[in-house]
Amino acid sequence: MGVEVAVRGLTKSFGGQPVWSDISLTLPAGEISVLLGPSGTGKSVFLKTLVGLLRPDRGDIVIEGRNLPRLSERDLYEVRKLFGVLFQDGALFGSMNIYDNVAFPLREHTRRSESEIRAVVTEKLDMVGLVGAEKKLPGEISGGMRKRAGLARALVLDPQIVLFDEPDSGLDPVRTAYLNQLIIDLNQRTEATFLIVTHDINTARTVPDNIGLIYHGHLAMFGPREMLLSSTEPVVRQFLNAQRIGPIGMAEEKDAEELQAEAQAGAELPPLPPIPVQLQPSDGRRRRAERPPGQWCRDHGVEPPPGSFAGPDGQRTVELPAFLTRDGVPG
């Protein structure tokens, strides 16, 4: 069972230059959360702060009653055993081949025999589709393969909290689809808490239970997927729908002039696209954290955009719960 991560008032700067400040959010135990944000807003820094690789200037990160920024180095190493982290570039050990990389945590932290290790490593490599590449060195494989090997290594100790730094960048669309399914299935099986940093809008819209958006040095919004996908907050709306119209410009923030010009040109916001259904586990059974489609919208009296929670061809891919049909919500 996953554990909850509670972040309160977290602030981080480098040499007086703030990266983000006053971030407060709770990653609910066992749920999948996605963190979005323009390039360079400090998403990777946030992940590194969560595992205690970087010390925040201020704020608390509470995991199982322990406040990470206050822990001694030794206790920090204890808490880190809860974590599995996939780094942005895989961070494989360059001097070891893929097999030894994935086996490394097992050899360091468990007393398992080599044959048991082989079984676990092969299972994880099979899961990420890297069987046959065991003998290769990290320098000899593609970026996407390095990333998948990094994922296998991050998962090998069955962590309670898994942080993914852009698991899908550098992967082809088919692999990305497989990876997203893998994330859902993993979450169903392990019930660990997942935090995924991604730039892939499709991933962000269909995979998580919660979405957060870092923008301009602070957390613009964090909440259930349907809340952000139905939000009309300009930044959230622009980012989640990958539009040019809105407050985000090429250089992070548009200046007032540009915004005014946009307004004068009568740039009209396109309507919110329909909210897609969430990706389901491949065995058809529910994930523990999964909520019925449309529940959040109904509970909060929000009208989802027309066509929401329907399959790509207008067909419902999931059986709608009774309340939706009863209330006559279009679908």
Partner 1 sequence: MSGPAVLRESGHFFAFCLDTLRGLGRRPVQVREFVQQAWFISSVSILPAALVSIPFGAVIALQLGSLVRQLGAQSFTGAASVLAVVREAGPIVTALVIAGAGGSAICADLGSRKIREELDAMQVLGIDPIQRLVVPRVLASMLVAVLLNGLVSVVGVSGGYLFNVVMQGGTPGAYLASFQALGQLPDLLVGEVKALLFGAAAALIASYKGMTAKGGPKGVGDAVNQSVVLTFMALFALNFVVTAVYFQVVPQKGS
Ligand X SMILES: Nc1ncnc2c1ncn2[C@@H]1O[C@H](COP(=O)(O)OP(=O)(O)OP(=O)(O)O)[C@@H](O)[C@H]1O
CB of 122 to partner 1, least distance (A): 20
SS percent in the chain: helix, strand, coil, step 5: 35, 20, 45
What number of residues does the chain have?
Answer: 331
Q: Which is nearer to ligand X, 42 or 105 (CB)?
A: 42
- 19 is a contact residue toward ligand X (CB under 6 A): yes
- Please list every residue from 20 through 39 that binds ligand X, using CB under 6 A: 37, 39
Residue 171: count other Cβ atoms within 10 Å of its Cβ: 21
Give me Rg for the CA atoms of the chain: 21
Helix (H) or strand (E) holding 249: strand 248-249
Which residue(s) pair with 194 in the sheet? Answer: 32, 162
Interface with ligand X, residue 40, by CB under 6 A: yes
**Among 13, 21, 26, 44, contact with Mg ion (rule: CB under 5 A):** 44
Closer CB to Mg ion, 44 or 67, in the complex: 44
CA angle 47, 194, 74 (to 5 degrees): 55
Pick between residue 88 and residue 243 the one whose CB is nearest to Mg ion.
Answer: 88
Which residues make Cβ contacts (< 8 Å) with residue 21, sequence separation at least 6? 11, 12, 13, 217, 218
Looking at 3, 29, 91, 267, which residue binds partner 1 (CB under 8 A)?
91
Nearer to partner 1, 66 or 80 (CB): 80
If one asks whether residue 53 binds partner 1 (CB under 8 A), the answer comes out as yes
Residue at shortest CB range from ligand X: 44
Tell me how far apart the terminal alpha carbons of the chain are, to the nearest angstrom: 34
Q: Encode burial over 107-123: b for 16+ CB neighbours within 10 A, e otherwise.
A: eeeeeeeeeebeebbee
Residue 241 interacts with Mg ion (CB under 5 A): yes or no: no
Interface residue with ligand X, options 7, 25, 32, 41 (CB under 6 A): 41
Q: Which is nearer to ligand X, 66 or 199 (CB)?
A: 199
- The verdict on 178 binding partner 1 (CB under 8 A) reads no
Could you tell which of Mg ion, partner 1, ligand X, none binds residue 195, using a CB distance below 5 to 8 A set by kind? none
Residue 175 interacts with, from Mg ion, ligand X, partner 1, none (CB under 5-8 Å by kind): none
- Judged by CB under 6 A, which of 2, 32, 43, 193 binds ligand X? 43
List the one residue from 55, 58, 70, 109 that touches partner 1 (CB under 8 A): 109
Site map (CB under 6 A) of ligand X, residues 66-105, x = contact: ----------------------x-----------------
Handedness of CA 112, 113, 116, 121 (dihedral sign): positive
- Taking CA atoms, 305 is separated from 140, 302, 308, in Å, by 47, 9, 6
- Give the burial string for 60-86 (b: 16+ CB within 10 Å, else e): ebbbeeeebbebeeeebeebbebbbbb
> If contact means CB under 5 to 8 A according to the sort of partner, which of partner 1, ligand X, Mg ion, none does residue 94 touch?
partner 1
Q: How far is the CB of 262 from partner 1 (least distance, A)?
A: 36
Tokens in use for 284? 């058809």
Q: Is 251 in the site for ligand X (CB under 6 A)?
A: no
Report the run of H or E that residue 224 belongs to, with start and end: strand 218-224
Site residues (CB under 5 A) for Mg ion?
A: 44, 88
Site residues (CB under 8 A) for partner 1?
A: 48, 51, 53, 73, 77, 80-81, 83-85, 87-89, 91-94, 104-105, 108-109, 150, 153, 157
Site residues (CB under 6 A) for ligand X?
A: 14, 19, 37, 39-45, 88
